[in-house]
Amino acid sequence: MRMAQAGTLESADCLVTVAPAEGFGLDYRGGNRKLFGERTRRLVSETLERLEVTGVQVTIQDQGALELVIRARLETALARAMKEA
């Protein structure tokens, strides 16, 4: 795995960065972090579990994205991270 990003900082989007790490870490930033902290944590772990990914640090800068958008951006970032250079 290498570091990779997906998404944008446009309104209603989010920028997701994934990087190899020890264990699992989530840094969820943006105006909605207090409102959707639990939801995002759950979304990220479910996605990682589904894609059988471990050892990753996920950073999300949320510009008011829908749940499905965060999930899609995370999936793209992970796929990019797993691709051979």
Partner 1 sequence: MNLVRNALGRLVPAEVRGAGAFDPYEGAFARILAGRPSPAAFPIRKPEPPSRSKVARDLQTAIERSGLENGMTISFHHHLRNGDEVIPLVLETLLQMGFRDLTFAPSSIPDSHDCVANYVRKGLIRRIWTSGARGEVGRMISRGEMEETVIIRSHGGRARAIEEGSIAIDVAFLAAPACDVLGNSAGCAGKSACGSLGYAITDARFARHVIAVTDNLVEYPLHPHISISQNLVNQVVVVDSLGDPAKIATGAARITRNPLDLKVAENAYRLIAASGILAPGCSFQVGAGGASLAVAAFVRDYMKEKGIQGSFGLGGISGYMAQMLEEGLFRGLFDVQSFDSAVTGSMVKNRAHMEIDPSWYANPMNQGCLVHNLDVVILAALDVDTDFHVNVMTGNDGVLRGASGGHSDTAAGAKLAIVVAPSFRGGVPTIKDRVQAVVTPGETVDAIVTERGICINPNRADLWEAARKANLPVKEIGDLKKEVERFTGVPEPIEMDMSRVVAVVEYRDGTLVDSIYRVKE
Partner 2 sequence: MRAMRSMLYIPGNAPGMIQNAAIFGADMVMIDLEDAVALLEKDAARDIASGFLRHYDFGDLPVIVRINGADTPFFEADLEAIVPLKPFAVRLPKCQDPSDVFVADSRMTEIEKRAGLPVGTVPIHAMLESARGIENAYAVATASTRVGALTLGGQDLTADMGIQKTRDGWEFFYARSRVVMAAKAAGIDAFDTVWTDFNDPEGLFRESRQVVEMGFTGKAAIHPSQVAIIHRAFRPDAKEVRKAERIVAAASEAERQGRGVVAVDGKMVDGPIIVRARHLISLASLYGMEGGEA
Contact between 1 and 81 under an 8 Å Cβ cutoff? The reply is: yes
Identify the burial level of 74 via C-beta atoms within 10 angstroms of its C-beta, where 0-12 means exposed, 13-18 middle and 19 or more buried. buried
DSSP-derived letter for residue 66 is: -
Answer yes or no whether residue 4 interacts with partner 2 by CB under 8 A: no
Q: Which does 35 bind (CB under 5 to 8 A by kind): partner 1, partner 2, none?
A: partner 1
Answer yes or no whether residue 64 interacts with partner 1 by CB under 8 A: yes
Answer yes or no whether residue 13 interacts with partner 2 by CB under 8 A: yes
Interacting positions 2-31 with partner 1 (CB under 8 A):
11-12, 31
> Looking at 10, 27, 46, 49, which residue binds partner 2 (CB under 8 A)?
10
Q: How many CA atoms lie within 13 A of 53 on its CB side?
A: 26
Residue where the block lists tokens 């991270």: 81
Interacting positions 62-81 with partner 2 (CB under 8 A):
65-69, 71-73, 75-76, 79-80
